[in-house]
Amino acid sequence: MKKIAVIAATGKAGSLIAQKALSHGHEVTAIVRNKERLKNQVTAVLEKDIFALTAEDLSGFDAIVLAHRAPAGQEEDYSKVAEKMIKILDGSESRLIIVGGASSLYLDENRDQRLLDVTQTDLPYYPTLLEMAKASLIYESSKLNFTFFSPAEFFDPEGLETNDYTITGDVLGYNKAGKSRISYADYAEAVVKMIEDGKYQHEHIGIYEN
């Protein structure tokens, strides 16, 4: 059994990860701003804003899953949260797994361009892609025991759990049909599995459905 904290456990990704971890028999603490929004059963709840968290709040966990999503207009919070996590987890033995974005993944093994670099800058969600990619670089330059886990290009909230996926490095992956897609359900399963296996520490990785 692992002791797992899920920050932003009321969101789509965070709630599924918390639910999956609990179903695997782990001890799950949900860290949320508003506990009234928590719909899933968990072991314990800490109601606190992410910027108010302390090192003591996050001590004693085998893994901490950061599923935070910045609201529109506050996309710079991704970098601010990264800096906050690095500060309060300095010297900690806990592993931090960040629910990232595909924009930070490279297009090929040459690593000359990321998905962000070929994305239209006038798209309404471009600021989110930009700031999440910036945050990935902050984690990668730190000494934190992190895993920046980027989903596929299409992160499908309605897709079913297939358990048929491939974990990549920091290069965007496509299946045989040329699709880069992963369901939230498969992503949650992959997060819990990597916590149990202890794999992909100090790495930026991606995932796609086969």
Q: Which tens digit of pLDDT belongs to each residue from 109-160?
A: 999 999 999 999 999 999 999 999 999 999 999 999 999 999 999 999 989 9
For the chain, the domains span 1-207
Which has the closest alpha carbon to 62: 21, 32, 105? 21
Say which amino acid occupies 152. A
**Rounded to an integer, what distance in angstroms lies between the CA atom of residue 12 and that of residue 82?**
20
- Residue 197 predicted with pLDDT over 90: yes
Average pLDDT, the chain: 96
Say which amino acid occupies 104. S
Q: What is the mean pLDDT of residues 67-86?
A: 95
Q: Which tens digit of pLDDT belongs to each residue from 152-181?
A: 999 999 899 999 999 999 999 999 999 999
pLDDT band at residue 39 using 50, 70 and 90 as cut-offs = confident
Asked if 151 and 173 touch (Cβ cutoff 8 Å), the reply is: no
Domain 1-207 has CATH 3.40.640.10: no
